[in-house]
Structure 1
Amino acid sequence: MSEREQGYLHGHHPTVLASHGARTAANSAAYLLPHLTPGTTLLDVGFGPGTITADLAELVAPGRVAGVEQAQGALDAAQAVLDERGITTVELRVGDAYALPFADGEFDVVHCHQVLQHVGDPVAVLAEMNRVAKKVVAAREADYAAMHWYPENPGMTAWLKVYQETARALGGEPDAGRHLRAWARAARLHRAGRLEVTTSTWTYADDDATSWWGNSQADRVTYSEWHDRILATGRSEVQVEAIAEGWRSWGAHPDAYFTMVHGELMLIKD
């Protein structure tokens, strides 16, 4: 994307795409769904592996859907999802969230999920999303400081510390969920219509869910670009493995519980 956009902390390793591929419109964009009807046109900014995009496309079909992503690898993975599901109404592009290649008001709805926390200037991205939206702008972002889990273990505590440290070093804001209203007002979205701010969670609290989440996070720490970013902070391979083992042991615990809190922003234009 633009030179103002910082490096994407997670990268697009298969372990990351597999984890992100569990996201659906139902579990990641429920707040938006009442505003979608067949024929709605929609732009998905930063679509990742494309699973949310595919769901949204099915909901608005035959409406046109477009997606913009910074990495060709993510685009290829998302296109594979669309092809597998036989969805032909979506156009995916590699592009710049700061300069979306679309006309003013070209889409009824402009959506992003877990994008603003990674960019250097989220206010500018929101303003650009507003420019190409006719009716609705929607964004959902995690808030890492609000995440909580049981039982505690040193590996996961270290994971959160290094994640927040690394994200901010790259110019992002890992606690983005709590900033959405402020960013929207700074982008003057409140002058375009009504702002709604809500919250929702992902919760992992049964054996299958905690095992999957713990092993998924351990794999990302071990194999993805995130592994090298942790080492770049001065941590050792032993410390990285301790973080991964913390996730694995947590996921195998019979009482394991994890909640990720998200902020949700919606601009409904007058």
Structure 2
Amino acid sequence: MRDGIAMRGDWRNETIIVSLSVDGLGSRDLASLHQLLDAGEQDRAASFHFDADRHSYIAAHGLLRLFLGAWLGRSPTQLAFNAGTWGKPALVRGGAPFSISHTRGMVAVAIAPQGEVGVDVEQLCPRREPELEIADRWFSTAEVAQIAAIEAEADKRERFMRIWNLKEAVIKATGRGLSQELTGFSVTPAADDDGSSPGLDCHEEWLRQAGQWQLEQWHLDGYLLAVAGINGPTTKPRHLKVTADGLAALADGVPVMA
């Protein structure tokens, strides 16, 4: 039996982010997702040295094919991809803008009906240092000041990761990746309890001219998930947690909200 609530109606008019815990997948689930991948993706999966990295790759790209197939009404195995100027993947035959992200244990896919979208998922490691030297090099002055103003080391670590997570989503939305100057914009994570969205201050003119920006961020049991949209729907992006059972519903063309 599939768990959760089937999304029906006008769900394709929203920006939707689906996340999937890799730890909740069994060997049969991974085998089914692996069968959806094309030869190049299967070769890439086989190249990973560690099983955890291989499983995350398979889960992410299998989920992408299932979700895009449901969104577009196409067979997941018939979808073909190419890369843009800076390497951002896109559908060969055209379709909805999308973004994909994976880390050990968690994967995410974002799809929007219009504009551009970028998604990033990061693992929160409680023992990780704030890495202020990385912030000094890659973050804007305002972002470095955010971290420096925090006294508790654990809170510094979390603020560092929340900023990094949001910045990754932004550069994936523009499609330029790390070729983009990371100090050309500043992000401000939202307060956890006020329902507000993260802030974005574009220091470079081309970013301001890109269009209407929208950022959101979620905590996911030891992970951070962020999405950035350009000229997307005015409604807030919706996040769905998909379980192994929910993958079957995606294969039938309907996403399931856990």
TM range (shorter): 0.3 to 0.5
Identify which of structures 1 and 2 has the higher relative contact order when contacts are C-alpha pairs closer than 8 Å and 6+ apart.
2
